[in-house]
Amino acid sequence: MEEIPAPQVEPGTVLVRVKFSSISAGTEMSGLKSASQPLWKRALKNPKAVKSTMEMAATHGITHTRNVIQGKLTEGNPTGYSASGIVLEVGDGVEGIQPGDRVACAGAQCAHHAEIIRVPRNLIAPLPKNLSLPVASTVTLGTIALQGVRRAQPTLGETFAVIGLGILGQLTAQILRANGCRVIGADLDSSRIELAKSLGMSFSLPPEENHNLEHILRITDGEGVDGVIITAASPSDEVISNAFGMCRKKGRVVLVGDVGLNLKRADIFPKELDFFISTSYGPGRYDPQYEEKGLDYPIGYVRWTENRNMAEYLNLISEKKIDVEPLIHSSFEVSQAATAYETLKKDKEKPMIVLLSYPESKEGERPVRVVPNPSARALEPGKIRIALAGVGAFVKAMHIPNLQSLSGRYQIHAVAGHTGSNASNTAKQVGAQYCTTDYHEILNDSKVDAVLIGTRHNQHASMVIEALQANKHVLVEKPLALTRVELEAIQNFYETHQQAPVLLTGFNRRFSPFARRAKELIKNRTNPMIINYRMNAGHIPFDHWLQTEEGGGRNLGEACHIYDLFTYFTDSKMVSIQARSLAPKTDHYSSQDNFAATVGFEDGSIATLTYTALGSNDFPKEQMEIFSDGNVLMLDDYKQLRIHGSSAKGVTSKLTDKGHKNELEMFAETLEKGGEWPIPLWQQLQATEIALQVEQLIQPK
């Protein structure tokens, strides 16, 4: 148990004070067991992660990779995915929910074992008046069982077998019975069979015998069952093989649990059986547009969504068609969480569900959104005290290791995060004074000198303005802004404030040793240049956040790096822009991921960016040629700069260096000594303006 800052309500979400949360003896304990395995065992099960780690080591070096991995290993992950409680606050755009409502919440990404949780609208359901909060906290388990039954499409009078009578199996058997079906249950634990029988299950298969098929045939007049729902957890392939054997011709098998999936053609083909996978809570699960963005599926096209399944499960309990109370073993106060988990480890008595209960809040008590770090490093005079606003994967993998390597100049003072657990984990990792989920807390902290903003792109501009108004120096990850209105607001701030804080947009490539060497070699040129930059960016799915309104797309979100690089090399004002995008023949690619943009500069130079997602990952991501005064400078993926036509030396590195650490060093230099900014304001504004104009030109006509 840890004290972490409470989340803040956001548009489309609801803030809930939890009263009860449900610990599942199956799913949750399995996850904890897996997490406790040695690292090498987990690595063997996840070869993709191993490959990613090796690629990181090859690109950024062993030391950087070790620091990133060590940071991940020391982090705690919130557990729990089913809860009930009272609504505290309702975000903009939420309908049908009011403060004070009693609700049930689902979702491994939000319905954690915690006093206060933030839940998207489609993962929350109001409770019927006669339904108790403890029983309602099982909503996720019941919804999973209900979706498994829906996949089976049972009809009145059919006979179904349920393999595995843990909590999901118990609920599945009751839902089938409520649907007018006869149920045959199978489990290795005779006590679970007896429990299911007491709750209305029709027949059972003896756990001590190996003649299940014979029993099935006797019960079904020699035909076999109409369908089987597997809710067991076992690595054995025999479970699913036996399930196929139990079915009549043209029967169906639905997999809800986790079993071996080495399918045998002979088990399925002769009877022409159907095999279905049940995806957790139902339609909408794993769809971020549905779960996180609140985009509902019309009832005329999708009758039973994830949320409608939640509501119907609660109705079934309310109408006493499902009896959940006999399945709840015990309830512990959250302060006794360790004891609750130990209860689920017992070998003889195997509880189905254990609940955690949470203390009543005091009248007028407000959620705590700032939590001190007990292991904070002592404040050191003379260092730049920087606060992190947004601690996603990039900030943790790149900026934090670099800040730690520059500990002689920087001290990470505070961490503000979207979720309390992530903010708390990061604060402990870096030794910050405190963590918070309220950005304004670090802006109101007089000890904070500078803010590093690393949130989603659509939040950058507004957070920059607020930080500048609070007189904090700002290093904001690119892009600086996603709209011209936002860009003009930043420009207007500096036009009306003479002694304003330093602003640095994270256009890091200009700080790389390769770009700096190239700038040295072209600074005394007598003629304009031609610059060709090719970015083999790779394909990103359209539902990736970078492609949504949060990211602004790849031109605004990534190509802006290169527009800044063009500005850096020419040191000249932009005078013209041309851009054209590809018209893909298939929907796999986007025109806005594949375009060429040519920028003309006041000094006569012409710079062209070719940005594409059409290429192979085997080819280098970024390459550039600069043609200048009889010389050609060739940059190869920030590992090598070659010079042709001159005896001048280039730059070679075994590791990719895109200038992230140098960027922080230049930022520190300016804050410590004053003088010129690392990137002049006009150049930051121009790079963003180029991106905005290109964005208009590459929009589909």
Q: Is residue 2 part of a domain?
A: no
Same-domain pairing of 522 and 622: yes
Q: Distances in Å between the alpha carbon of 616 and those of 473, 536, 621?
A: 40, 8, 9
Q: What are the φ/ψ torsions at residue 254 (nearest 5 degrees)? A: -120, 130
d(CA 440, CA 336): 34
Q: Is residue 366 part of a domain?
A: no
CB 126 within 8 A of CB 250: no
d(CA 251, CA 146): 19
Same-domain pairing of 341 and 420: no
Q: Distances in Å between the alpha carbon of 364 and those of 358, 367, 632?
A: 17, 10, 69
Domain count along the chain: 4
> What contacts 129, CB < 8 A, 6 or more positions away?
none
Q: Is residue 285 part of a domain?
A: no
Q: Where does a domain end: 478, 507, 536?
A: 507
d(CA 434, CA 414): 5
Helix axes 167-178, 190-198, angle to 10 degrees: 30
Number of residues that this document lists for the chain: 701
Q: What are the φ/ψ torsions at residue 158 (nearest 5 degrees)? A: -75, 165
Q: Distances in Å between the alpha carbon of 258 and those of 143, 170, 190, 232, 324?
A: 17, 16, 21, 7, 23
Q: Is residue 363 part of a domain?
A: no
Same-domain pairing of 589 and 641: yes
Q: Is residue 282 part of a domain?
A: no
Same-domain pairing of 223 and 122: no
Tell me the residue range of the domain where 220 lies. Answer: 141-277
Same-domain pairing of 679 and 589: yes
DSSP codes of every residue in 357-419: E-PPPPTTPPPP-EEE-TTPPPP-TTSEEEEEE---HHIIIIIHHHHHHTTTTEEEEEEE-SS
Q: Where does a domain end: 277, 303, 338?
A: 277
Same-domain pairing of 91 and 165: no
Q: Is residue 201 part of a domain?
A: yes
DSSP conformation class of 297? P
Same-domain pairing of 472 and 615: no
Q: What is the pLDDT of residue 480?
A: 98
Same-domain pairing of 419 and 296: no
The domain that holds 134 is classified in CATH as 3.90.180.10
CB 174 within 8 A of CB 195: no
d(CA 169, CA 29): 17
Same-domain pairing of 332 and 410: no
> What contacts 83, CB < 8 A, 6 or more positions away?
16, 18, 20, 21, 22, 104, 105, 111, 112, 113, 117, 137
d(CA 432, CA 415): 7
The domain that holds 605 is classified in CATH as 3.30.360.10
The domain that holds 387 is classified in CATH as 3.40.50.720
Same-domain pairing of 513 and 652: yes
The low-confidence residues of the chain, meaning pLDDT below 50, are: none
Amino acid type, 98: Q
Same-domain pairing of 95 and 233: no
Take residue 689 and report the two structure tokens written for it. Answer: 């303006």
Q: Is residue 286 part of a domain?
A: no
Q: What is the pLDDT of residue 27?
A: 66
d(CA 542, CA 549): 11
Same-domain pairing of 207 and 233: yes
DSSP codes of every residue in 44-56: HH-HHHHHHHHHH
Helix (H, G, I), strand (E, B) or coil at 286: coil
Residue 22 burial (C-beta neighbours within 10 Å; 0-12, 13-18, 19+): buried
Q: Where does a domain end: 357, 384, 414?
A: 357
Q: What is the pLDDT of residue 90?
A: 97
d(CA 5, CA 145): 33
Q: Is residue 185 part of a domain?
A: yes
